[in-house]
Chain A
Amino acid sequence: MDPILTTNILNVVYEVSTLAVVVLGLAVVFGLLGVMNLAHGEFVMIGAYCAFFVQTQNLPFLAAVPVALLVCIVLGLAVERILVRPLYARPFDTLLATWGLSMLLREGVEAVYGRGFKSVAVPLTDSIDVLGADYPSYRLLLAAVSIALVAGLVWWFVRSATGRRIRAVVNNPELAGSVGIPVTALARNTFVFGCCLAALSGVLLAPLMPVQPMLGLDFILKSFFVLVVGGLGSLVGLISGSGVIGGVESIVSAFFDRTYGYTTVLIIAILFLWLRPNGLFPRT
């Protein structure tokens, strides 16, 4: 196969799979709690800064994973208790509150680390020969980890008792409480889980992007586009939305440049809002 084509295909796979992990956290929280967490991108940002912090402490890159999870569990628990739970039945107030939180988190990180770009060293610097194309092994690994993560979570969601209970709560919250599902605790854990997934993405993506306080905005916007295109209804929608948004952006960026990639994605999202507001796979 043509090495340039191979490289482009791998780029699309990388873009789509890493995006899917970020959106998955956002969508699971929205599905169960009905809460759109506008600070989701900031949890990615915090994860990335954890990778930077670990590097400044001369610890191995992977030490950032437990650090980021710990930070986001504590933060996620506090946010759920203070902001999310009191505002359950008030979606607009939740949007405002989580948007406020996102600003607070950006300002907070800026106060500590400043505005400047930080860079995190790539843990694997070599590249691998894939069908004649020379592809960076860290990107390849990251794509593989992301695919495994999404596949594992989908499998768990479909097969495990907890996954079944989450689906039960989404379908019929009133009945769920009455058959004994601890709905409040499940919602809290799911919210924290969504934050942790975002933070994990942040850690793993940190070596491949400039780490700066505003980086979460890019993720929340793209996640929105994915949900607009795919629909809020299902995992199939989420994965196809990630496919369309991540795929189109990386293809257009490869042939033109990043700005065109971004503009194309924006236009697609607007067309969807206009012509097919419930996305490819609407919620039934």
Chain B
Amino acid sequence: MSAPLFSFAGVTGGYGATTVVRAVDGEVAAGEACCVLGRNGVGKTTLMRLLTGHLPLQSGAVTFGGRPMDGLAPDERHGLGLIYCPQDRPVFDNLSVRENLTLMASADADRYAPLLAAFPILEDRMAQSAGTLSGGERKILSFVRGAAETGRLLLLDEPSEGVQQENVERMAAFLHEAKAAGRALLIVEQNLAFALEIADRVIVMDHGEVVLAGNAADMTEATLAAHMHV
């Protein structure tokens, strides 16, 4: 078996001297989706920040495309193809919707066409500042920005939070397409049905540690819920 595109082992870290995430392992292969589940406050977002280079590791290792990520800043990881859509403050509130989408891209807006067709609310608000969007609309804008990027790995932190059901389903369709195109997905979710629809593997966290990990096909919502203590 070839090495997974993205893997991390023993990831431990937090804020300053405080440790929030302890010894978390995981991997995602190209064309595969891994979902990270867990209640609020168990450290899922902190794990994402550790993987993307926004927080330093206290110990452990992160490897992407066979390359160790230690010491690489978030923009360098982005340059290697690691795309991240954060949970909180997912867009630039002071820029317009259009500027959010074209900030780093040349004018080749073509890559946005299928996404904008699926989420017409953005098209209607192109000139509006992103800060005036609702929470769910911001998540959609963030999703569109991330999904349109060409990087091989997509990290999404609660993409469906506050998003209407019909739009959650459209997101799921795009994520299936991304998998089919060979991208690797690591997705934090609270919405179990959405997670199970796209996930090949599942990691359940509690108190900063992994309490359950395995193939999504072997898990029912009931087992997951039991491990999440919900």
Q: Which residues of chain A have a CB within 8 Å of any CB of chain B?
A: 161, 164-165, 167-168, 170-172, 174-184
A182 & B75 in contact (Cβ 8 Å cutoff): yes
| Complex alpha-carbon distance, A184 and B75, angstroms | 9
A164 & B93 in contact (Cβ 8 Å cutoff): no
Distance between A170 CB and nearest chain B CB, rounded to angstroms = 8
- How many chain B residues touch A (Cβ–Cβ < 8 Å)? 23
Chain A contacts for B93, CB-based, 8 A: 171-172
Distance between A87 CB and nearest chain B CB, rounded to angstroms = 16
Cβ-defined partner of B92 (8 Å) among A172, A182, A183? A172
| Complex alpha-carbon distance, A182 and B84, angstroms | 15
Chain B contacts for A176, CB-based, 8 A: 92
B10 interface hit (Cβ, 8 Å): no
Distance between A272 CB and nearest chain B CB, rounded to angstroms = 25
Cβ-defined partner of A183 (8 Å) among B73, B79, B86? B73
Q: Find the residue from A164, A176, A178, A180 having the highest chain B CB count within 10 A.
A: A178
CB<8 Å pairs between A and B, sample of 22: A164-B103, A165-B103, A167-B92, A167-B95, A168-B95, A171-B93, A174-B49, A174-B54, A174-B74, A175-B89, A175-B92, A177-B73, A178-B75, A178-B78, A178-B86, A179-B104, A180-B78, A180-B104, A182-B75, A183-B73, A183-B74, A184-B73
How many pairs, one residue from A and one from B, have CB atoms within 8 Å of each other in the complex?
64
> By DSSP majority rule, is chain B's interface helix, strand, loop, or mixed?
loop
| Complex alpha-carbon distance, A62 and B159, angstroms | 56
Chain A contacts for B79, CB-based, 8 A: 180
B78 & A168 in contact (Cβ 8 Å cutoff): no
Cβ-defined partner of B104 (8 Å) among A167, A172, A181, A184? A181
A175 & B78 in contact (Cβ 8 Å cutoff): no
B104 & A177 in contact (Cβ 8 Å cutoff): no
| Complex alpha-carbon distance, A58 and B172, angstroms | 72
| Complex alpha-carbon distance, A75 and B220, angstroms | 62
- What 6 additional pairs, Cβ within 8 angstroms, besides A171-B93, A178-B74? A175-B90, A177-B78, A178-B52, A180-B75, A181-B75, A183-B75
